[in-house]
Structure 1
Amino acid sequence: MRARAFVPFKRRGAKSRLHPFLSERERERLAVCMLKDVLSALSHSPSVAAVEILTRDGLSELSEMRAEISDLHMRIPLIFKEERGKGLNDALNAALKSFSDAEGCEKFSFFVLMADLPLISAEHIEELLRFNEDIVLVPGRRGGTNAIVLRGEALRKFEFRYKRISIIEHIQEAKMLGLPTRIHDSFFFSTDIDEVGDLIDLLTFGTGFAAAYLREIGVFVASRHGWLSLVRERKVQAHQSEMKEEQAKEIE
């Protein structure tokens, strides 16, 4: 069974917890690079039939995003859907209802994948989509839910419950429905990039657009007394200039 993938994404003001290590412009660019890593993995996965990006960004951000990912040469259809005014749960529940109401939906899985998982590959996605349970949940390392696969009865019964510790909410939802469920633990799926320390894993294990971008702006991993830490070795002046611009905006 092939899957249709749905990827929630926000460019504007992305990854605020990486401030002040990265400037606003750098955080937004990193978010796009991580999205490109995820889209590349999806595009090379034979089990993925199409991808839909659900975004709350406006038309100008959408235009910029399209330009920034134009070099991917996606092998499968890529659709952008603007969901301004909707929260994550509302957007996903609406997408699921539209999907389940469509003729022939039972031939596909509904696959939700977060956009900040730069370590996943097509092989990891294929492994996930091979499971047969109606509900497959993939936890993040801080209690989030980084991926969900729905099929069968779950397409018409499941309700998304994203909040800070969403994996518990989604497990409870699955138990309430009484449908076959699997919890899939995976380092690569669980490694979402939200905090500064997460960049160490990205630079250590990442080989895609996001890791390359960090190195481009001078962010590296250094070993000091047996501990890994982040350092900025190049383009520091440009980074400091961007930070001063942001501070000036805050004062205004």
Structure 2
Amino acid sequence: MRPIKVVIPFKLDCAKSRLSSVLSSEEREKLALAMLEDVIDAVSGLGKVAVLMKDPIPDEAPFDRLKSRGFDLLECPQELDPALNSMIEAEVSKGWPSDLLIAMADLPLMSPSDVEGLVKTPGDVVIVPGRGGGTNLILIRDPRFRVRYYGLSFIKHVRIAEDLGLSTGVYESFRCGSDVDEPPDLVEVLIHSRGRTAELLKDLGFALSGKREKTRAGWVRDR
């Protein structure tokens, strides 16, 4: 199997704004960092991991911890697509020494076994769809491929691969497909995660409500 380099785009400033109704700005930053570390734990067995940050890298303990664990923290002020495509082109200029796995930073349910299943899926490009038509992870094995996120990016990525004549694999996974964006998503973390994110939510007073109604989030918070 070819080596795999993992890239995780990460944004701390105004993190997870759609959770602002239930979490303060400081709490959302803590949540974003906890999810990032859970994602890193899931993918770190593959090899080199780089965190691609749009913001300046803060001189704070969580980032020092990531550096001490041997992960690269890269500053890139570009928007998501040009930043990632520039990284792809940089790997191409090196002769494509490894395949590239792009993983979103808000997948706290993902486990190493999920990543193993993704890697075993055949295809020049392997895509993990998120809920609502997004792309949560994408494994690029052919250097001709370029990404195009936002909107229905899963469909966009399938079409890009088809237009290039590349084979496309789709890896369906509940855990990999469960990104955390909205308040109801927190219940999935409380039910299914055993990582840093779940522990943080519990420390912040979140607990399962015991109710299962579409009109409710499924959790309660003891402030």
- The two structures share one fold, judged by TM-score above 0.5: yes
Is the counterpart of residue 99 in structure 1 residue 91 in structure 2?
yes
SS at 2:117's partner residue? helix
Superposed counterparts of 1:72-221, under 5 Å: 74=69, 77-84=70-77, 86-103=78-95, 105-106=96-97, 108-151=98-141, 154-155=142-143, 157-221=144-208
Alpha-carbon RMSD: 1.6
Instruction: Give the unaligned 5+ runs of structure 2.
Output: none
Q: Does 1:67 find its partner at 2:64? A: yes
Whether 1:2 aligns to 2:3 is: yes
SS in structure 1 opposite 2:159?
A: helix
- 2: distance between equivalents of 1:62 and 1:54? 16
Please tell me the residue identity of whatever aligns with 2:200.
Answer: Y
Correspondence 1:26 to 2:27: yes
Query: How many residues are treated as equivalent by the alignment?
Result: 219
Paired with 1:101 and 1:87, the residues of 2 have a C-alpha distance of 21
Aligned to 1:244: none
| Runs of 4+ more than 2 Å apart | 61-65, 67-70
Letter in structure 2 aligned against 1:118:
P
Aligned match of 2:48 = 50
Q: Is 1:231 aligned to 2:223, yes or no? A: no
Q: 1:38 — aligned with what? A: 39
Q: Alpha-carbon deviation of 1:216?
A: 0.4
Q: Distance in 1 between matches of 2:115 and 2:138?
A: 11
Query: Which structure's CA Rg is the greater one?
Result: 1
> After superposition, what is the alpha-carbon deviation per residue over 1:177-222, rounded to whole angstroms, capped at 9, x for unaligned?
1111111111011000000010010111010000000000101111
Residues 4-46 of structure 1: CA deviation (Å, up to 9, x unaligned): 0000001111000001111111011000000010111122x2x
Q: Report the CA distance shift for 1:201/1:165 in structure 2 as closer, same or farther (over 3 A).
A: same
Cα gap change, 1:62/1:109 in structure 2, threshold over 3 Å: closer, same or farther?
Answer: farther
Structure-1 separation of matches of 2:154 and 2:140: 15
Whole-Å separation in 2 of the counterparts to 1:159 and 1:65: 31
| Aligned position for 1:239 | none
The answer to which structure has the higher helix fraction is: 1
Read off the aligned partner of 1:231 and give its amino acid letter: V
Q: Is the 8 A contact 1:112 1:147 kept in 2?
A: yes
> C-alpha separation between the residues in 1 aligned to 2:17 and 2:152?
19
Q: Is the 8 A contact 1:32 1:68 kept in 2?
A: no
Query: Which sections of structure 1, spanning at least 5 residues, go unmatched?
Result: 237-252
Question: How far off its partner does 1:127 sit?
Answer: 1.4
Cα distance in 2 for partners of 1:181, 1:57 equals 33
